[in-house]
């Protein structure tokens, strides 16, 4: 018997500790109670109310079972402790119910105030109608969560809501809602369906930035006699030797109905979306039809693999070192990289061999590189490894590799040696492409069979 009594007292102690935590939570919620923010606090109060009712029933059953097992000498003390615990929990429950009643009255007052102060005069005011409908729905859900019966406010709210609707919507609702079906839910469902139908057929706003396309007399000449399109086929190159006059090029553009800015069809320069300008005069036209002063002529860079003697003969006007290396890029002009020759040696073996190597000076590079062949010749030892993305000059592919870092020395013309760390890579410069000097010097052959680019 004593074992059973101890077990039940231990179980009751756990429930009393849980009841104490519930009372503490109730105090915190009631302190932060805000009648204007009922949607968040009402569900908490309802949950606390349910939990405390269940806890009271459990404690009452346990107290009765313990009183049957306790000695007569300790009955009065036990009864007093039971009453104190349950009374404090009952007081907290009453405070929660009082807060819920206050919330219910506040929600009804707010809902009544919303319907009284909101009147929609036009059926085209869909935004106002939608806001009224959503506000009423929100407050009704709050009242339902607090346990307020819809019958207590449905009739009054229905008549108030109908009085705030435009006359045409009142007629629509009256046709759908029959006399024996008149209730708040039916009214709100009908209003919801009518609003959705009106929102679906609402005409979208027009684009104010739309500009009507205006044709020109130049476009009418596109169907005239055939003209030479060799210059256009070459991409509108300024250095085209077939059509050299800017005026003749403009005449070709007019007769073919092309834009003076991008050289494309189906529009003219006032309606062209291209933002490019002539780099000679900064005017809004293609550089090939510019009538201003031409920049100094530049010969295209030669093909990779030509001899140094041919290189100096074909490009004397560049004013660069005859050993300059050309790197092809995606820009409109070629990029010339400076080069130099210097003796390279192994700093760890100053008395070892020295190799005269070619240095490519790239001001935009963030790292230094040395070829694997030169590393093997000098016997350079690895100082570490790094994971880098390798993209050699002239290559369009990037390869991620783990490569060695070596230390090398460079002799200068002034006697001061330089030591530097460089990545050991198998190749620094790809065979140069798209540098066709000999082809660029050829005369273009006009062909009326080849269509111009669109």
Once rounded to an integer, what is the mean pLDDT over residues 117-136?
Answer: 79
Q: Is the dihedral of CA 120, 122, 123, 128 positive or negative?
A: negative
Once rounded to an integer, what is the mean pLDDT over residues 236-247?
Answer: 70
59-107 tens-digit pLDDT: 888 888 888 888 777 888 888 888 888 888 888 888 777 776 665 555 5
Once rounded to an integer, what is the mean pLDDT over residues 170-174?
Answer: 81
Whole-angstrom distance, CA of residue 159 vs CA of residue 173? 12
pLDDT band of residue 126 (cuts 50, 70, 90) is confident
Whole-angstrom distance, CA of residue 387 vs CA of residue 400? 7
**Confidence at residue 325, expressed as pLDDT on a 0 to 100 scale:** 39
**Confidence at residue 305, expressed as pLDDT on a 0 to 100 scale:** 44
Residue 367 has pLDDT above 50, yes or no: yes
265-274 tens-digit pLDDT: 888 888 888 8
3-state class (DSSP) for residue 382 = strand
What architecture does CATH give domain 338-431? Beta Barrel (2.40)
Once rounded to an integer, what is the mean pLDDT over residues 191-199?
Answer: 85
Stretch among 23-37, 182-196, 272-286 having the lowest mean pLDDT? 23-37
Which has more pLDDT, 2 or 438? 2
pTM of the model: 0.28
Q: Find the DSSP H helices in 146-183.
A: 154-163, 167-176
Stretch among 104-113, 165-174, 181-190, 275-284 having the lowest mean pLDDT? 104-113
Determine what percent of the chain falls in helix, strand and coil, rounding each to the nearest 5. Answer: 50, 15, 40
Stretch among 27-36, 170-179, 302-311, 331-340 having the lowest mean pLDDT? 302-311
pLDDT band of residue 111 (cuts 50, 70, 90) is low
Q: Which two three-digit tokens encode residue 106?
A: 């506040």
Stretch among 50-64, 107-121, 349-363 having the lowest mean pLDDT? 107-121
> Taking a C-beta distance cutoff of 8 angstroms, is the pair 273, 259 a contact?
no
Residue in the structure block whose two tokens are 């350079």: 380
> Taking a C-beta distance cutoff of 8 angstroms, is the pair 252, 237 a contact?
no
Once rounded to an integer, what is the mean pLDDT over residues 192-217?
Answer: 65
Q: Where are the domains of the chain?
A: 1-107, 118-201, 257-291, 338-431
306-336 tens-digit pLDDT: 444 444 334 333 343 334 334 444 554 566 7
Stretch among 32-36, 70-74, 116-120, 228-232 having the lowest mean pLDDT? 228-232
End-to-end CA distance of the chain: 102
Whole-angstrom distance, CA of residue 160 vs CA of residue 117? 11
Residue 414 has pLDDT above 80, yes or no: no
**Confidence at residue 234, expressed as pLDDT on a 0 to 100 scale:** 53
What H or E segment, with its residue span, contains residue 44? Answer: helix 38-69
- Percent of the chain at pLDDT > 70 equals 64
Once rounded to an integer, what is the mean pLDDT over residues 244-261?
Answer: 84
Which has more pLDDT, 212 or 167? 167
- Percent of the chain at pLDDT > 90 equals 0
Strands 399-411 and 417-425: antiparallel
Residue 397 has pLDDT above 80, yes or no: no
> Taking a C-beta distance cutoff of 8 angstroms, is the pair 339, 357 a contact?
no
- Residues comprising the chain, all counted: 454
Which has more pLDDT, 302 or 382? 382
The CA-atom distances, in angstroms, between 193 and each of 3, 87, 176, 187 are 67, 51, 11, 10
- DSSP conformation class of 200: H
Of 125, 118, 108, residue with least CA distance to 198: 125
**Confidence at residue 319, expressed as pLDDT on a 0 to 100 scale:** 40
**Confidence at residue 221, expressed as pLDDT on a 0 to 100 scale:** 46
Q: Which residues contact 36 (CB under 8 A, 6 or more apart)?
A: 106, 110
**Confidence at residue 12, expressed as pLDDT on a 0 to 100 scale:** 84
Residue 51 has pLDDT above 60, yes or no: yes
pLDDT band of residue 112 (cuts 50, 70, 90) is low
Residue 53 has pLDDT above 70, yes or no: yes
pLDDT band of residue 444 (cuts 50, 70, 90) is low
The CA-atom distances, in angstroms, between 448 and each of 76, 106, 166, 445, 451 are 119, 86, 71, 10, 7
**Confidence at residue 310, expressed as pLDDT on a 0 to 100 scale:** 44
Whole-angstrom distance, CA of residue 406 vs CA of residue 355? 16
> Taking a C-beta distance cutoff of 8 angstroms, is the pair 90, 25 a contact?
no
């Amino acid at each position: 018997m004593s074992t059973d009594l101890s077990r039940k007292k231990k179980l009751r102690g756990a429930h009393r500790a849980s009841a104490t935590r519930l009372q503490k939570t109730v105090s915190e919620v009631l302190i932060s109670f805000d009648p204007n923010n009922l949607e968040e606090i009402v569900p908490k109060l309802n949950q606390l109310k349910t939990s405390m009712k269940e806890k009271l029933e459990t404690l009452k059953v346990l107290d009765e079972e313990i009183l049957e097992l306790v000695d007569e000498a300790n009955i009065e003390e036990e009864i007093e402790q039971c009453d104190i615990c349950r009374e404090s929990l009952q007081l907290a429950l009453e405070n929660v119910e009082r807060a819920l009643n206050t919330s219910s009255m506040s929600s009804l007052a707010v809902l009544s105030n919303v319907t009284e102060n909101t009147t929609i005069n036009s059926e085209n005011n869909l935004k106002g109608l939608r806001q009224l409908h959503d506000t009423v729905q929100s407050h009704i859900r709050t009242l339902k969560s607090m346990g307020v019966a819809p019958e207590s406010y449905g009739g009054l709210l229905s008549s108030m809501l109908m009085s705030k609707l435009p006359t045409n919507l009142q007629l629509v609702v009256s046709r759908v809602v029959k006399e024996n079906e008149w209730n708040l839910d039916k009214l709100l469902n009908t209003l919801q369906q009518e609003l959705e139908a009106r929102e679906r057929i609402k005409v979208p706003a027009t684009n104010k930035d739309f500009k009507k396309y205006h044709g020109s007399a130049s476009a009418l000449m596109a169907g005239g006699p055939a003209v030479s399109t060799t210059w256009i086929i070459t991409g509108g190159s300024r250095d085209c030797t077939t059509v050299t006059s800017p005026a003749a090029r403009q005449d070709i553009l007019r007769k073919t109905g092309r834009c003076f800015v991008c050289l494309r069809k189906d529009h003219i320069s006032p309606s062209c979306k291209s933002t490019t300008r002539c780099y000679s005069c900064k005017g809004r036209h293609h550089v090939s039809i510019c009538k201003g002063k031409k920049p100094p002529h530049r010969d295209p860079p030669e093909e990779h693999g030509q001899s140094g003697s041919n290189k100096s003969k074909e490009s004397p006007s560049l004013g660069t070192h005859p050993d300059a290396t050309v790197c092809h890029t995606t820009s409109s002009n070629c990029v010339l990289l400076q080069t130099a020759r210097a003796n390279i040696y192994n700093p760890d073996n100053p008395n070892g061999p020295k190799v005269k190597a070619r240095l490519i000076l790239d001001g935009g590079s963030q790292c230094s590189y040395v070829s694997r062949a030169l590393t093997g010749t000098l016997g350079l030892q690895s100082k570490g490894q790094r994971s880098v993305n390798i993209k050699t000059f002239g290559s369009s592919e990037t390869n991620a590799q783990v490569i060695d870092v070596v230390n090398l020395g460079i002799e200068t013309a002034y006697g001061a040696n330089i030591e530097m760390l460089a990545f050991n890579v198998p190749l620094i410069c790809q065979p140069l492409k798209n540098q066709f000097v000999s082809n660029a010097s050829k005369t273009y052959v006009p062909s009326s069979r080849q269509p111009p680019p669109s």
